[in-house]
């Protein structure tokens, strides 16, 4: 129980610091692109922002999935 709370706090702090560094780092970015979804497109965003957000969301989802629970036979 205590380990999962400690892991969640570390996950929150680590990814928040990555997001803060990402926002500071892309202030002078001039390369912009749109992301095409199935239904619509996004506004023009810096490419580094799109790549950074995908990395951060992958980090969050990867840490939330417990591999031992997935491999355990029921």
Domain ranges of the chain: 2-71
- Distance separating alpha carbons of residues 52 and 65, to the nearest angstrom: 20
Return averaged pLDDT per consecutive 10 residues of the chain, 74 residues in all. 78 90 83 80 81 88 74 65
| Start-to-end C-alpha separation, the chain | 22
Which pLDDT belongs to residue 34?
80
């Amino acid at each position: 129980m205590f380990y999962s709370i400690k892991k969640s706090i570390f996950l929150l702090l680590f990814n928040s610091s990555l997001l803060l560094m990402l926002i500071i780092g892309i202030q002078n970015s001039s390369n912009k692109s749109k992301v095409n979804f199935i239904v619509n497109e996004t506004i023009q965003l810096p490419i580094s922002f799109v790549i950074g957000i995908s990395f951060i969301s992958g980090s969050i989802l990867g840490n939330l999935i417990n591999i031992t629970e997935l491999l355990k036979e029921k």
